Chains A and B, each alone.
Chain A
Amino acid sequence: MAEASYPDDLKYHEEHDWARVEGEQATFGVTWYAQDALGEVVFFDPPEIGAHVTKDQSYAEVESVKAVSDVFAPLSGEVVAVNEILAESPEKINEDPYGEGWLVRVKLSDPSELDSLLDADAYERLLEVGA
């Protein structure tokens, strides 16, 4: 995806992660800014299904041509699915960070955490002042 975009239907974490909440579950991924800063992603090391993830803590790693980076959980819960496509095609994280490049789906344990996440406007303001 060549142009920066931050969809309105997502919630954002200041460590450049997004969450799409659907009922009791949420899908996690990294933002356009994150994939752009990482450069070409060559490997995604997912958590195991059933693993517990904690808001603000690392739950997975992405490796790009520049470095290995932690991925932070925007919300807490239990991993119910990981994106299997990324095992073969980690570049989907670059090509389609909000679609095919999603990382995990999580059953949320504390929906009230949602209040601390940013909306698209607030996240873009954060990027402008210097991430």
Chain B
Amino acid sequence: MSDPLDPRAGEDTLTIFERSREGRRAFVPPRCDVPELPVEELLPQSAVRDRSAELPEITEPELVRHYTTLSSKNFHLDEGFYPLGSCTMKHNPKLHERVAAVPGHARLHPLQDPEYAQGALELMSRLQGALAEIAGLPHVSLQPSAGSHGELAGLLLTRAYHEANGEPRSKVLTPDTAHGTNPATVTMAGYQVVKVGTDPDGGVDLDDLRAKADADVACLMLTNPNTLGLFDRNIEEIERIVHDAGATLYYDGANLNAVMGIARPGDIGFDIVHFNLHKTFTQPHGGGGPGAGPIAVADRIEPFLPVPQVVRRPGRNGTEPFFDLEYDRPLSIGKMRGFQGNFGVFVRTYAYIRSLGGDGLKEASQVAVLNANYLKALLARDGIAEYLPIAFDRTCMHEFVVSGRGAKERLGVRTLDIAKRMLDHRVHPPTVYFPLLVEEALMIEPTETETKERLDHFAGVVRAILEEAGDDPEIAKGAPYTAPVRRLDEAGAAKRPVVRWRARDENPGDPARAQDAPASGTGAM
């Protein structure tokens, strides 16, 4: 084990629990100025612990150092270029954090009576209006709390719509380029997944779609531009085929960053759209949340939207109109979550939309597309293109995909090796091995917030890694060398996941812990 006080300590870095020493405190609160009662008198017996919680005991400076050190090990957007394809890692303006932290926003209780939360409800109502305009669809629910959650809401709406029409259906179509969440959502919503092929142009195979779009198909879930970064040129024909079959057309908004203010899904004929606020509308990524995946829908889907809906009611007896939460929606699919959603995410999104305005959002999409095409052109030059050829080479949208097949065959290094070597250059790798139909794929999305110099630097890093691999492929195969951890045992992590920390041999806290379960996880699959 390395020195536990060495801030550069690598894989042996101690957890906060392992730093714990009995009796240490980061903060000692002053004596309580109201009479203290035994906890047993305040809580029902079932809620009272039989022994104290195993909380770490640590001094304040050690606590601060622990987390500061951890944060410095993490690669993040504030440190460097992060072209993680399909994730839209754009800069999150710092202003948004200030606005979200305003006490009236941050401290609002979710059970607050709507009468005393008019400002928050107005913000939600205005955000719904803005998202409706961007989608080209009139009705919005902010309730779904992730893109995948929005997908699930969309398919539950589709099911409710078909059942209300007296024609339940059993299948949902997804292209073979779709994000993995699409087929997962289809299964979770109780439908059967039917995959549609890709044509040589990188779009939906129309003949395959026609063959599969029968009267039992409930919906086509489409990401456009798709995961190859290509706008489907046949979208109007796709819309006709799907609607002629009586199915709904679902727009996965994962790649909305390419078309804001330029093409509206509703105008194209989509019935349901989800937004990934964390991608397109600048939310912090990572940590699994909190997130938001609002949906916008057409008139015919509106009766089924989740409850409650934020609505503006006319004033009574000459009073001002007011905002309210509407529960009386008999055809609704119900609630998608507790309370109204992650409000801080709504505040940041609203701040972003209002800061940029309609023209600014359009420009953001234009520059995202420009940056992707500029970087694609840099990677199409000699010395790179023969090892990392562009898959489906045509003008791309906000992202593009290259194949590492050439590097694998001619240099003996794989996409994973190239990606790991990028970390030594302090660049985050692109998305790798997705989409699945491109061998050894690297999926690159620079976003609009990067400068030309950053893009030039990235292309230079790629070139340097390939040149180095030509001399000695073993260097890339052993990378990374400078990151806090080296190659991780991904297979071991999947086969024997340790998902819960337990004390191993030291036992500075509760003595009862010593007899507790073993150090590792269950190992069950």
Q: Which residues of A does B touch, CB under 8 Å?
A: 37, 39-43, 63, 65-67, 69, 90-91, 131
> A42's contact among B180, B416, B434, B495, by CB below 8 Å, is which?
B495
The reply to whether B436 and A43 contact each other, CB–CB distance below 8 Å, is no
Q: Which residues of B contact A90 (CB under 8 A)?
A: 495
Q: Which residues of A contact B490 (CB under 8 A)?
A: 40, 65
The reply to whether B433 and A66 contact each other, CB–CB distance below 8 Å, is yes
The reply to whether A43 and B439 contact each other, CB–CB distance below 8 Å, is no
Task: Give complex CA distance A91, B490 in Å.
Answer: 13
The reply to whether B494 and A43 contact each other, CB–CB distance below 8 Å, is yes
The 3 closest A-B pairs by CB, nearest first: A42-B494, A40-B491, A65-B490
* Closest B residue to A87 using CB positions: B525
Q: Which residues of B does A touch, CB under 8 Å?
A: 180, 416, 433-434, 436, 439, 490-491, 494-495, 525
Q: Which residues of B contact A131 (CB under 8 A)?
A: 439
Further pairs besides A40-B491, A43-B525, A66-B433: 9, Cβ < 8 Å: A37-B439, A39-B433, A40-B490, A42-B495, A43-B495, A65-B491, A67-B180, A67-B434, A90-B495
Question: In the complex, how many residue pairs between chain A and chain B have their CB atoms under 8 Å apart?
Answer: 25
> A65's contact among B180, B439, B494, B525, by CB below 8 Å, is which?
B494
The reply to whether A42 and B491 contact each other, CB–CB distance below 8 Å, is yes
Task: Give complex CA distance A65, B494 in Å.
Answer: 7
The reply to whether B494 and A67 contact each other, CB–CB distance below 8 Å, is no
* Closest A residue to B439 using CB positions: A37
The reply to whether B495 and A67 contact each other, CB–CB distance below 8 Å, is no
* Closest B residue to A70 using CB positions: B195
Task: Give complex CA distance A91, B491 in Å.
Answer: 9
Instruction: Identify 24 residue pairs between A and B in the complex whose beta-carbon atoms are under 8 Å apart, listed by A's number.
Output: A37-B439, A39-B416, A39-B433, A40-B490, A40-B491, A41-B491, A42-B494, A42-B495, A43-B494, A43-B495, A43-B525, A63-B494, A65-B490, A65-B491, A65-B494, A66-B433, A67-B180, A67-B433, A67-B434, A67-B436, A69-B436, A90-B495, A91-B491, A131-B439
Q: Which residues of B contact A40 (CB under 8 A)?
A: 490-491
| Minimum CB–CB distance for A18 against chain B, Å | 20
Task: Give complex CA distance A65, B492 in Å.
Answer: 9
| Minimum CB–CB distance for A99 against chain B, Å | 20
Q: Which residues of A contact B495 (CB under 8 A)?
A: 42-43, 90
* Closest A residue to B525 using CB positions: A43
| Minimum CB–CB distance for B66 against chain A, Å | 30
Task: Give complex CA distance A123, B495 in Å.
Answer: 32
| Minimum CB–CB distance for B228 against chain A, Å | 16
| Minimum CB–CB distance for B272 against chain A, Å | 26
| Minimum CB–CB distance for A43 against chain B, Å | 6
Q: Which residues of A contact B439 (CB under 8 A)?
A: 37, 131
| Minimum CB–CB distance for B498 against chain A, Å | 15
| Minimum CB–CB distance for B386 against chain A, Å | 16
* Closest A residue to B490 using CB positions: A65
Task: Give complex CA distance A66, B494 in Å.
Answer: 11
Q: Which residues of A contact B491 (CB under 8 A)?
A: 40-42, 65, 91
* Closest A residue to B436 using CB positions: A67
Q: Which residues of B contact A43 (CB under 8 A)?
A: 494-495, 525
| Minimum CB–CB distance for A19 against chain B, Å | 24
* Closest B residue to A65 using CB positions: B490
* Closest B residue to A37 using CB positions: B439
Which of A41, A42, A69, A90 has its CB near the most chain B CB atoms (within 10 A)?
A: A42
Q: Which residues of A contact B494 (CB under 8 A)?
A: 42-43, 63, 65
Task: Give complex CA distance A63, B436 in Å.
Answer: 13
Task: Give complex CA distance A69, B435 in Å.
Answer: 13
Task: Give complex CA distance A90, B495 in Å.
Answer: 9
| Minimum CB–CB distance for B486 against chain A, Å | 16
Task: Give complex CA distance A43, B434 in Å.
Answer: 20
Task: Give complex CA distance A69, B495 in Å.
Answer: 17
Q: Which residues of B contact A67 (CB under 8 A)?
A: 180, 433-434, 436
Task: Give complex CA distance A5, B52 in Å.
Answer: 60
| Minimum CB–CB distance for B112 against chain A, Å | 43
Task: Give complex CA distance A69, B439 in Å.
Answer: 14
| Minimum CB–CB distance for B233 against chain A, Å | 24
Task: Give complex CA distance A62, B416 in Å.
Answer: 20
Task: Give complex CA distance A46, B360 in Å.
Answer: 52
Q: Which residues of A contact B434 (CB under 8 A)?
A: 67
Q: Which residues of B contact A37 (CB under 8 A)?
A: 439
Task: Give complex CA distance A40, B493 in Å.
Answer: 12
Which of A63, A66, A131 has its CB near the most chain B CB atoms (within 10 A)?
A: A66
Task: Give complex CA distance A90, B525 in Å.
Answer: 12
Task: Give complex CA distance A131, B439 in Å.
Answer: 9
| Minimum CB–CB distance for A94 against chain B, Å | 9
* Closest B residue to A91 using CB positions: B491
Task: Give complex CA distance A41, B525 in Å.
Answer: 13
Q: Which residues of B contact A65 (CB under 8 A)?
A: 490-491, 494
